[in-house]
Amino acid sequence: MLTPINLPPHTTLRTVAEDPDLADRIQGLIEQCWPTYVIESHFPGGDVLPTDWMGIFERWPQFQFALIDETNDELLSAGNALALAWQGDPGDLPDTGWNWAMHSAVLDLEAGRKPTSMCALSISVRSDQRNRHLSATMVEIMHEMGKAAGLRRLLAPVRPTWKSRYPITPIEEYITWRSRDGLPFDPWLRVHARLGAALVKPCQRSMEMAGSVAEWEQWTGMAFPASGHYVVPDMLTPLRINRSADRGDYVEPNVWMVHP
């Protein structure tokens, strides 16, 4: 049973386990909130960590949830997480971050291994609701869901939201920056830190995305007339274009944070 959480007025919490039709609505909100390339790109050829995003709704419906406006039944925000049987030291968390969690959790489930940790996958907040501190509430809900399920900790490969303002700054340097209160400079890292999470280390290859040159031009609204590296709005690191291979690759670093 969840520890009571102070939800915003006139909102209710609902999971896909309680309402299977909620899965499509959550996915719709995700597609509104996230860049097109995150939704439509594919993994690089030969990727050893294949993932099945839509499978999370069937495998862990109790950890796919939304905050819903009670007055009109509209989604305000949504959260996605999973459970995996990882018990290692936080310092040993892998470079492959988000992709690793998605892949490992499926292997654990298929092998019948008992899950010990929850891993956050995404939190999506509707654009007109982003001044209500819903992101922190969603992290708190994940934390309490993990506790109620008997899991020991919440792992989070956090996407640092302001890193896109400094795309050529190495992630190792970026995470050392601090605000005046001593908390992380990045606002999304700061939310997790205020809720008690430890900042562990970067995961350099948390998400890997590939597509043709034409696809990247469509997804970003930019032209890429020559091979090379391009700074693209909202990307945390430069996009690498290889015109002779008709390919673009984007490797996104995240930051491992662990909630006890």
Query: pLDDT band at residue 41, thresholds of 50, 70 and 90?
Result: confident
Write out the DSSP string of 224-248. Answer: --SSEEE--TT-SSPEEEETTTTEE
The dihedral sign for the CA sequence 235, 177, 81, 87:
positive
Output the six-digit token pair for 30: 């995700």
How far, rounded to the nearest angstrom, does the alpha carbon of residue 203 sit from its chain's CA centroid? 12
Residue 255 contacts residue 158 (beta carbons within 8 Å): yes
Span 199-255, pLDDT tens digits: 999 999 999 999 999 999 999 999 999 999 999 999 999 999 999 999 999 999 999
Q: Average pLDDT, stretch 159-183?
A: 97
Query: pLDDT band at residue 3, thresholds of 50, 70 and 90?
Result: low
DSSP-derived letter for residue 193 is H
pTM for this one?
0.93
43 pLDDT more than 80: no
Does residue 1 lie in a domain region? no
Query: pLDDT band at residue 60, thresholds of 50, 70 and 90?
Result: very high
pLDDT given at position 138: 96
Domain housing 131: 11-208+253-259
pLDDT given at position 133: 87
- Sequence-distant (6+) residues with CB within 8 A of 88 are none
pLDDT given at position 1: 56
Output the six-digit token pair for 25: 């609505």
Does residue 239 lie in a domain region? no
- Residue ranges of E strands in the chain: 11-15, 64-69, 75-84, 117-125, 153-158, 198-211, 228-230, 239-242, 247-259
Distances (CA, A) of 196 to 142, 186, 189: 13, 15, 11
pLDDT given at position 137: 95
Does residue 96 lie in a domain region? yes
Residue 149's domain is classified under what CATH number?
Answer: 3.40.630.30
Span 73-84, pLDDT tens digits: 999 999 999 999
Span 99-146, pLDDT tens digits: 999 999 999 999 999 999 999 999 999 999 888 889 999 999 999 999
Our count of domains for the chain comes to 1
Residue 164 to residue 73: CA distance in whole angstroms: 33
pLDDT given at position 244: 97
Percent pLDDT > 70 in the chain is 95
Does residue 102 lie in a domain region? yes
Three-state DSSP state, 184: strand
Q: Which residue has the tokens 């290692």?
A: 88
Burial class (CB in 10 A: 0-12, 13-18, 19+), 115: buried
Does residue 183 lie in a domain region? yes
Mean pLDDT, the chain, as a whole number? Answer: 93
Does residue 197 lie in a domain region? yes
Does residue 47 lie in a domain region? yes
